[in-house]
Amino acid sequence: MLDVALKLVNEIDKRIQPIIGWENAGKTVKIGADGTPTKMIDIIAENIAINVLEKYGGILLSEEIGLKVLGDEINYIYILDPIDGTYNALKNIPVYSTSVGIIKIKEEDKKILKNKDIKFIEKYLYKNYSINDVYLGVVKSLATKDKEVFYAIKNKGAYLIKGDEKIKLSVSKVNELKKASVGLFVYGLSNELLDMLKDRLFRRIRLFGSISLEMCFVANKALDAYINLNESARLFDIAGSYIICKESNAKITDKNGKELNLPISISSKTSLIIANEELHKKLLPIFSNKWAIKPLSFGFVVREDSKEAINLAKDLINYLKSKNIPCYVKENIKNLINEEKINIKKISHIVAIGGDGTILRAARIANGEPIPIISINMGKLGFLAEFDKENAKEAINKVIKGDYEIERRIKLDTIINSKKLPSALNEVVIITKNPAKILHFEIYVNDTLVDDLRADGLIISTPTGSTAYSLSAGGPIVEPTNNNFIITPICPFKLNFRPLVLSCRNIIKVRLKSNKPALIAVDGIVEEEIKKDDIVMFKKSDEYTYFVKGKNFYEKLKNIFLN
């Protein structure tokens, strides 16, 4: 059927070109089967396709006509988008295409479907066929000079035909967000898109307006990823390019990480995240409202000096193993709990049982990877903990079922003389190396001098850390999901210097003016010594820490302060 699909896209290409720029091509003539306005150019392209496919027979699903039986034989299902990127075609913007995905109808179904009415066929296809039954896909660019054709046959690879060349396709190996070029399809400025633009999360963002081509650009390494957050990707748009991406080894899910299983229906729509396996893992937690991936295995980080915490960990591990879910443990408790050591590449979730110190260790183990932390309080305050020991098993069950939310927290990077320290979830503290000695700082925000400060030390805190050391030093409480940093002095010499809250998009620099050396502590761990005139730079990390959401933040505040 590849020759039929190629004939289809080539015929549309040949006959559609003369009407590009024609003033009536953009006239709205009706509302299509999918509920969107149909332009004259769409009708013309669809009729060209029908004339080609009637010779071969089958069932056509197309965005304008809906479902139509062609010819006498029902051997194939054709899922067609005659013009993907209609607006671009009308405005002569050179990014539009024709896309078709083809499914073989099972032998037993041919008899069932023959001579049946449209409503019966619609219901039958919806129940018995999905996008994963597409075995052949072809997408042709209708505007480029070489008229590239992308195609794939299930289990036989994906290819690009460009002139006389035939090139095997495979996805990009770029796995760092800052190096990734990403295609987007969005309606309106969503919060997610605004965050990406503000944070400069990716190397570049492209919005082309032709889903099928953009998916093929991922298969061809022209883009490192493609993201559709609006759940507006229709079956017509993606059926052909879906198999092309799959055969080029792309990972394709909806924005919540679920594998696509779109039923064959004119109403089928989805969100999309498409990239290589490693980049997909990093994209998923940025956009998903719920972490819907089935957990593969759990790593346990446990307060080792607490018998109660160790016993709870053993109980939870036995429970998970009864469900055939592997468990791993931090090496410091391996002699207490006989399980294999944590390997960051093997675990999907971390269970942290203890106080805030234990949870911070878990965050450091995750090291920016999209691994959610299930934080269970077995300490005293437990500001970072989302669950108590009484509802620990309930939290685990929700994770197993995929019925839970993720809360993403920003982190803070510290750079000293080009050396990057571990990222901080709570705070970075500059303190004197010699007790009872005051330090002298110059504080800059985006290279503007903010203050000349003498104090016992200085805290640069994230919103998560606003309720930790910063709070004790007189800093404000900030919601942990905010995008801010807090500069809090420790016992300042001048009483008029107050804690400063600023956007995390700012770059903070601190110059040590004292002759006395100072220490840099990241989340309570001393990492580096600095001396006079050293400059310490602070900026928002590219990494995040992810928590399985439990307690309400304000309820947590109320309970802790009342206690």
**484-492 and 387-388: which strand pairing?**
unpaired
Please name the residue that has the structure tokens 């801010």: 484
**Which residue type, as a one-letter code, is found at position 357?**
G
CB environment 499-519: b (16+ within 10 A), e (fewer): bbbeebeeebbbbbebeebbe
Structure tokens at 297: 């295995």
Query: Which backbone phi and psi does 35 adopt, to 5 degrees?
Result: 90, 5
Of 237, 356, 456, 523, which residue is the catalytic one? 356
Which strand ranges, in their side-by-side order, compose the sheet holding 269-275?
Answer: 204-206, 181-185, 225-234, 269-275, 251-253
Q: Are 383 and 356 in contact (CB under 8 A)?
A: yes
Contact 511, 533 (CB under 8 A): yes
Here the tokens at position 378 are 């077995």
Q: How many CB atoms lie within 10 A of CB 233?
A: 24
Is 356 an annotated catalytic residue? yes
Are 125 and 265 contacting, i.e. CB atoms less than 8 angstroms apart?
yes
Angle at which helices 235-247 and 211-219 cross, to 10°:
0
Neighbours of 409 (CB within 10 A): 20
Q: Quick one: tokens of 275?
A: 């990239």
Q: What is the DSSP string of 100-156?
A: EEEEEPPHHHHHHHTT--HHHHHHHHHHH-BGGGEEEEEEEESSSTT--EEEEETTS
Residue 380 burial by Cβ neighbours in a 10 Å radius (0-12, 13-18, 19+): exposed
Count CB neighbours of 552 within 10 A.
Answer: 11
3-state secondary structure of 269: strand
Pairing of strands 508-512, 535-548: antiparallel
Sequence-distant (6+) residues with CB within 8 A of 325 are 295, 296, 297, 298, 400
Residue 235 backbone dihedrals phi, psi, to 5 degrees: -50, -40
Active site residues: 356
